[in-house]
């Protein structure tokens, strides 16, 4: 195994151990606000890693990611309230999201670069507006479900899902399929010329990415007591995933995890510290990161290490 491969494996192990340690948190700290906060981080890790597969590994900036998150939420919520066990409902949501993604992907992958980005942005908005029009009423859990609500169930499900997405990306990165995707990212024409089936690989990346996004959407539907059905379709889910991934380091295993942790902490901290200005500061901070650390935290750490080793 190459040195890079070993380091990847090391990171995967470190993240999974960290997640395993978080499993003890509800036993140690019973406070709901802490669990809610960590839940948000875990959901963000899943969302960021899922976006990272298609953008970081296959190099396709998908700005319609929220559509698949939303679809997962919509299907899972409907089935779950209808009596289906939540895990099955989430799986169904993920399945529907993936199926739709494959259908759309064949057409959308005709587009390259910026055109793919704006095309998917439009698809996301189409889904949000349509859902908002058709299902305009707020979705609230039945009273019986609310009284049986346990935060720890949501917490453990989020933990499991974050672990699954990290493991999935680690496995992908080490596989031949993952290497093929990275070849497309570097140079699609050259990759195609060398016999890499570009469309197939891009569709694989999209399927995996949207499947995880659908699961994350299911988790969202399981977690929230009431929300407007169009809310999980909102483009800010896509932008959040994008920001977290780029802050951490796009196309790396651990970048999105670091990015998600930092993002949630920063956003919550700024919201507490500067109630009125927090988004303004946050936006400015993010721009500074893009300009000053173009490869994200991961590349910044890499550079620092090289400087120290000198």
Partner 1 sequence: MILAQQLLLGLLIGGIYGLAAAGLSLVFGVLKVLNVAHGELIMLGGYGAFWAVALLGIDPFASLLLVLPLSLLLGLALYWALFGFVVRADEETRVKNSLLIGFGLALALHALAVRLWTADERSIITPYGGAVISVGDLSIPVVRLLSLALAFALIGGLHLLLTHWRWGQAIRATADDWQAALLTGIDVRRAYLLAFAIGTGLAGAAGTLVSIGYSISPSIGLEWTLKALIVVVLAGLGSMIGTFVGGLFLGLAEAASAAAFGGPYREVVGLVIFVVVLVLRPRGLFGR
Question: Rounded to the nearest whole angstrom, what is the least distance from the CB of residue 59 to partner 1 in the complex?
Answer: 9
Q: Residue 130 or residue 140: which is nearer to partner 1 going by CB?
A: 130
Which residues here bind partner 1, judged by CB under 8 A?
61, 63, 107-108, 110-115, 117-119, 121-123, 125-126, 129-130, 132-133, 235, 239, 242-243, 246, 276-280, 282-284, 286-287, 290-291, 294
Q: Residue 63 or residue 208: which is nearer to partner 1 going by CB?
A: 63
Q: Residue 13 or residue 107: which is nearer to partner 1 going by CB?
A: 107
In 3D space, the residue among 48, 17, 12, 20 whose CA is nearest the CA of residue 216 turns out to be 48
In 3D space, the residue among 165, 163, 182 whose CA is nearest the CA of residue 4 turns out to be 182
Question: Rounded to the nearest whole angstrom, what is the least distance from the CB of residue 45 to partner 1 in the complex?
Answer: 20
Question: Rounded to the nearest whole angstrom, what is the least distance from the CB of residue 111 to partner 1 in the complex?
Answer: 6
Q: Residue 73 or residue 289: which is nearer to partner 1 going by CB?
A: 289
Rounded to whole angstroms, how far apart are CA atoms 150 and 145?
A: 10
Question: Rounded to the nearest whole angstrom, what is the least distance from the CB of residue 299 to partner 1 in the complex?
Answer: 13
Rounded to whole angstroms, how far apart are CA atoms 108 and 125?
A: 15
Instruction: Compute the Cα dihedral for 105, 230, 66, 207 and give only its sign.
Output: negative
In sequence order, the 6+-apart residues with CB closer than 8 A to the CB of 239 are none
Question: Rounded to the nearest whole angstrom, what is the least distance from the CB of residue 283 to partner 1 in the complex?
Answer: 3
CB 185 within 8 A of CB 59: yes
CA dist list (Å): 216 to 42, 105, 154, 213, 265: 10, 20, 12, 5, 20
Q: Residue 37 or residue 286: which is nearer to partner 1 going by CB?
A: 286
Question: Rounded to the nearest whole angstrom, what is the least distance from the CB of residue 134 to partner 1 in the complex?
Answer: 9
Q: Residue 118 or residue 192: which is nearer to partner 1 going by CB?
A: 118
Question: Which residue in the block uniquely carries the two structure tokens 């930092």?
Answer: 262
């Amino acid at each position: 195994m190459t040195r890079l491969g070993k380091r990847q494996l090391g990171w995967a192990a470190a993240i999974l151990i960290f997640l395993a340690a978080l499993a003890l948190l509800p036993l140690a700290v019973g406070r709901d606000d802490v669990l809610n906060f960590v839940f948000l981080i875990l959901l963000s890790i899943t969302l960021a890693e899922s976006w990272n597969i298609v953008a970081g590994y296959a190099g396709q900036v998908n700005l319609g990611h929220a559509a698949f998150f939303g679809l997962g939420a919509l299907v899972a919520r409907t089935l779950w309230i209808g009596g289906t066990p939540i895990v099955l409902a989430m799986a169904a949501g993920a399945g529907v999201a993936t199926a739709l993604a494959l259908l759309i992907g064949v057409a959308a992958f005709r587009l390259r670069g910026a055109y793919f980005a704006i095309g998917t942005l439009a698809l996301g908005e189409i889904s949000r507006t349509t859902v908002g029009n058709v299902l305009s009423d707020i979705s609230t859990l039945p009273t019986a479900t609310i009284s049986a609500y346990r935060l720890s169930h949501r917490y453990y499900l989020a933990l499991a899902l974050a672990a699954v997405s990290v493991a999935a990306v680690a496995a992908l990165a080490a596989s031949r399929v993952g290497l093929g995707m990275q070849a497309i990212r570097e140079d699609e024409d050259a990759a195609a010329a060398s016999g890499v089936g570009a469309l197939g690989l891009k569709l694989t990346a999209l399927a995996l990415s949207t499947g995880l996004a659908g699961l994350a959407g299911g988790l969202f539907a399981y977690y929230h007591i009431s929300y407007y059905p169009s809310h999980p379709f909102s483009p800010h889910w896509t932008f959040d995933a994008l920001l977290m991934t780029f802050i951490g380091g796009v196309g790396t295993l651990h970048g999105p995890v670091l990015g998600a942790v930092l993002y949630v902490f920063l956003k919550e901290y700024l919201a507490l510290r500067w109630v009125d200005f927090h988004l303004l500061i946050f936006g400015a901070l993010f721009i500074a990161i893009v300009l000053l650390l173009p490869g994200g935290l991961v590349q910044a750490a890499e550079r620092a290490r090289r400087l120290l080793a000198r």
